[in-house]
Amino acid sequence: MKTAIFALALAIATTAAAQTVTVHEKSGNTTNYNTTLVDSITFNEANTMPANVPYTTQVTINAHWCALGTSITYLNDYDKQGRFEKGYMDRTLDQLHFTKMTNQGISGGCIKSAYNQVIKADYYTIEHGINDWGQFTPVGTFDDYLNKNNNDSFAYWYRMVIDRIFAVNPKAKIVLCTPRKAYGFSGYLPNNCMSDLNGIYLKDYVDIIRQIAEYEGFPLADFYAECGGQRDLARMSMDTALHPNDEGYQMMANVLIPAMKKVITFDSQK
């Protein structure tokens, strides 16, 4: 199959027999592909990945993804109890097949713990906030992020982690993730995901992350807003109600994939 040059548009047409991808080239040529017969797609001569590539199509990305995060990230590779089939990273890799992915999640880790987990990579995701809430990390302010006010706050350490990423790779692409809502877990968190813990709300950390994403121009995977709430968290968790099960992890992947597509580039083959 010839390589599709994506300074062109993709349109998806569904028929009773099969789902097809219709490629409209600038030359005026139009080609239909049966997606059930497509193994992979290679994108060349484009800056970013088209947002409307169907979720059933796997795209190979010749790059290294480093995932920083909590046990919700860590368990993707290190669950020894067989409690779920795939974590959110493996589910993301089902579509966005990075040639290398390194899991730098820390079970019980707060944002401060991510600083020493930063390794050289091309793409980074940061999934932190839930343990900072559970362990009473001071939230800080956006000013603490901007001015690097060394007050050991969540905002300050978020800045340190991002600065560390750019120190090891000035061309790094970063996607921020808000923490997934959670509650309970044997008293580690309040019994309601919207309640305060020691006077701090989970949304306080979320608001800082959203401000950072807007200020820096980073895509945001808003797990807090889009991956369940008090009514359904128990159903989507392996426990009540912190760590996602397969349904919960799939929701996270569904949110992360479009966010990552915004920064994935195909300018060069390594």
21 is a domain residue: no
Which residue matches tokens 């099960």?
Answer: 245
Domain extent at residue 255: 59-261
Average pLDDT, the chain: 86
254 is a domain residue: yes
Q: How many domains does the chain have?
A: 1
Residue pair 19/54 in contact (Cβ under 8 Å)? The answer is yes
d(CA 175, CA 66): 11
| pTM exceeds cut of 0.85 | no
d(CA 26, CA 29): 7
Residue pair 226/114 in contact (Cβ under 8 Å)? The answer is no
45 is a domain residue: no
Burial of residue 97, with CB atoms counted within 10 A of its CB: 0-12 exposed, 13-18 middle, 19 or more buried: middle
Q: Residue 104: beta bridge partners?
A: 68
CATH number at residue 80: 3.40.50.1110
The per-residue pLDDT string of the chain (270 residues; one tens digit each, 9 = 90 and over) reads 333 333 333 333 333 444 555 555 444 455 555 655 555 554 433 445 554 454 557 889 999 999 999 999 999 999 988 899 999 999 999 999 999 999 999 999 999 999 999 999 999 999 999 999 999 999 999 999 999 999 999 999 999 999 999 999 999 999 999 999 999 999 999 999 999 999 999 999 999 999 999 999 999 999 999 999 999 999 999 999 999 999 999 999 999 999 999 999 865 333
131 is a domain residue: yes
The torsion defined by the Cα of 125, 87, 256 and 95, in degrees rounded to 10, comes to: 110
Q: Residue 221: beta bridge partners?
A: 177
34 is a domain residue: no
Q: Residue 175: beta bridge partners?
A: 125
pLDDT computed for residue 80 by the predictor:
82
33 is a domain residue: no
pLDDT computed for residue 33 by the predictor:
52
DSSP assignment of 94-116 equals: TTEEEEEEEEEE-TT--HHHHGG
27 is a domain residue: no
DSSP-based three-state secondary structure for 244: strand
pLDDT computed for residue 265 by the predictor:
86
The torsion defined by the Cα of 17, 21, 26 and 28, in degrees rounded to 10, comes to: -10
Q: Edge-to-edge strands of the sheet including 123-127? A: 96-105, 59-69, 123-127, 173-177, 220-221
**The tokens of 222 are what?**
């808003």
108 is a domain residue: yes
